[in-house]
Amino acid sequence: MNPHRGICAVLVLLLCGGCVPYWYTAASSQRSPIDDQALKFITIGSTTMEDVLFELGEPEARYDAPPVFLYRWVEVEGVFGYPLGGRFWMGWTREHTLHIAFDESNKVTRYKISSVELSERSVP
């Protein structure tokens, strides 16, 4: 093996080691993110309002006629790194809302998670 190849490989690793972007995700609200796994307990037509309250806690908002619960959380995610002594960061802020609707007997009729991108920013 050519000794210059080894030296070049080490130099490339040292110079570009900071180039590797790191993915960052954090919840920036009091409620933890609710994913599909957390909703597996819901069965349309049989899961009750009490079941939902027990599993997910109090919603951020409640509406009557028809009953609807809204659970909201905000996530900030982005990529940051330190290439060659500099730094960069690109990030997104998204608000997620879980809508759960109930019938007149307080059983789940449907549910859906919707997401809205609130902002996008980058810092060179």
Is residue 10 in some structural domain? no
pLDDT the model gives residue 10: 57
Is residue 107 a part of any domain in this protein?
yes
Per-residue pLDDT of the chain (124 residues; tens, 9 = 90+): 445 455 545 545 555 555 555 555 666 567 788 888 999 999 999 999 999 999 999 999 999 988 999 999 888 777 666 665 666 667 778 899 999 999 999 999 999 999 998 876 655 5
Can you give the residue range of the structural domain that contains 37? 19-123
- Whether 9 maps to a domain, the answer reads no
pLDDT at 98: 96
The candidate with the shortest Cα–Cα distance to 111, out of 73, 69, 81, is 69
State the amino acid at position 96 in one-letter form.
H
Give the whole-angstrom CA distance, residue 27 versus residue 31.
8
- What is the reported pLDDT for 84? 59
Query: pLDDT at position 1, please?
Result: 47
The answer to whether residue 110 sits within a structural domain is yes
**Count of structural domains within the chain:** 1
